[in-house]
Amino acid sequence: MRIVVLGVGNILLSDEGIGVRTVEKLARDYILPAEVELIDGGTSAMEMLEDLGHADHLIIVDAVRSGKPPATIVRMAGDEVPVFFRTKLSPHQVGLSDVLATLVLMGEQPGTTTVIGIEPESLALGMELTPAVARQLPQVVGLVKSELNQLGMNLTARH
């Protein structure tokens, strides 16, 4: 089994970096099973095709536009995850949707895909998450841990 946890976003645009900050925290705080791969996708797009192809499960963590209050966490799985996005969920969605659609066309799409997103409070220039989104980071990490546990993967805390 191969599971990819992909954190995407631009760390220069405050809350846009929540996906990258999540994979950084997972790498810093936990020892992961060999079957789990963390990828800091940043704002990359097609460069990730090889890394994401044929994964059994893909967990994407990203800032999303859900229409809910800032710092609200949303989870989408299975058919809820639009491969061919019609509405823009993420500020850099064009790249991510292109990647997922290309994987489908190549027959290399992940077995299942889950998106854990958080509504950004600010996308202003800045390296730090806003306080409201930063307070949610442990819950986002906990959701990723829960997803991995449901897939039979247990993380070991480093501390």
CATH class of 3-157: alpha beta
Whole-number Å distance between alpha carbons of 61 and 143: 10
Q: Is 54 annotated as a binding residue?
A: no
Q: Is 159 annotated as a binding residue?
A: no
Is the model's pTM score more than 0.75? yes
Whole-number Å distance between alpha carbons of 17 and 11: 4
Whole-number Å distance between alpha carbons of 116 and 20: 12
Contact 92, 8 (CB under 8 A): yes
Domain boundaries, the chain: 3-157
Query: Tens-of-pLDDT digits for all 159 residues of the chain?
Result: 999 999 988 999 999 999 999 999 999 999 999 999 999 988 876 788 888 888 999 999 999 888 899 999 999 888 777 654 444 455 555 567 778 888 888 999 999 999 999 999 999 999 999 999 999 999 999 999 999 999 999 999 997
Q: Where are the beta strands (DSSP E) in the chain?
A: 3-8, 30-31, 36-42, 57-63, 73-77, 112-118, 156-157
Structure-block tokens of residue 48:
């990730």
Residues belonging to the chain: 159
Compute how many other C-beta atoms are within 10 angstroms of the C-beta atom of residue 74. 16
Whole-number Å distance between alpha carbons of 128 and 145: 23
Q: Is 62 annotated as a binding residue?
A: yes
